[in-house]
Amino acid sequence: MGILSAFAPELEPLRARLQDPRVHTIQGVEFTTGRLEGKPVARSLSVRMRGDDDESACIRR
């Protein structure tokens, strides 16, 4: 399951509940993987791409 948020404080309670959390950084985007209620999850902040004119583009890969 992927959990994205535009507001960092929304993700903090989830980080406290993650089992075996591991932080990863890919192309400057930080995300955390782990298990939540026994299920694998990845959580991250949504990131607007620099130089992108499309307001709907909010995830950088």
The CB-based long-range contact list for 42-46 (8 Å cut-off, 24+ gap) reads 42/1, 42/2, 42/3, 43/2, 43/3, 43/4, 43/5, 43/11, 43/14, 43/15, 43/18, 44/2, 44/3, 44/4, 44/5, 44/11, 45/4, 45/5, 45/6, 45/8, 45/11, 46/4, 46/5, 46/6
pLDDT for res 11:
83
Confidence check: pLDDT of 60 > 50? no
The mean of the pLDDT values for the chain is 80
Task: Quote the pTM value.
Answer: 0.66
pLDDT per position as a tens digit, 10-54 = 888 888 899 999 999 988 888 899 999 999 999 998 875 444 444
What percentage of residues in the chain have a pLDDT greater than 90? Answer: 33
Q: Would you kindly state where each structural domain of the chain is located, as residue ranges?
A: 2-45
